[in-house]
Amino acid sequence: MTAADRSAPIATPSDAERAIANLHAIMDSLVQTMEEETARVRAGRIRDAVQMESTKSDLARRYAAESERVMMAKDMIGRSLPAALDGLRKRHEAFQALLKKNLTVLATAHAVAEGIIRGVSGELARKQGPSTYGATGRANMPKPMSSPPIAVSRSL
């Protein structure tokens, strides 16, 4: 399919069939990429998962563009290819469930990493502050700003 075919409006049932087939192919690639990314993150292979970002972004962009084309012609597709449109709706619902799972795994990995960094920061602040007691006899906690900042490398 050429770039002109991908951007041209859907005018005939054969155009609709090609657009739906193209959308299914894009979704297949996107699902495979997301499942691989999810598996890598769950296995703790964050660097490997990050390498998939450009592929995932490109597929997501293509998915959004092709979905928009199909949505613009949904009335015509619904009249001429109702079974194909219904199948596409069901496939989209399954895709949304996979997307939710992927986002949950990514959010969990982010929360775990943030918790580790906060824990290390708190431990460093506790160790660097003087160990003193207050007027009530309880240990004074160091002020949050009393420790030097932590440098974190963002390159994975």
pLDDT at position 69 is 92
How many other CB atoms are there within 10 angstroms of residue 5's CB atom? 12
Per-residue pLDDT tens digits for 32-46: 999 999 899 888 888
Per-residue pLDDT tens digits for 63-101: 999 999 999 988 888 888 989 989 999 999 999 998 898
Q: How confident is the model at residue 139 (pLDDT cuts 50, 70, 90)?
A: confident
pTM: 0.69
Residue 7 has pLDDT above 80, yes or no: no
Are the beta carbons of 144 and 125 closer than 8 angstroms?
yes
Are the beta carbons of 23 and 60 closer than 8 angstroms?
no
Are the beta carbons of 20 and 84 closer than 8 angstroms?
yes
- What residue type is 73 in one-letter code? A
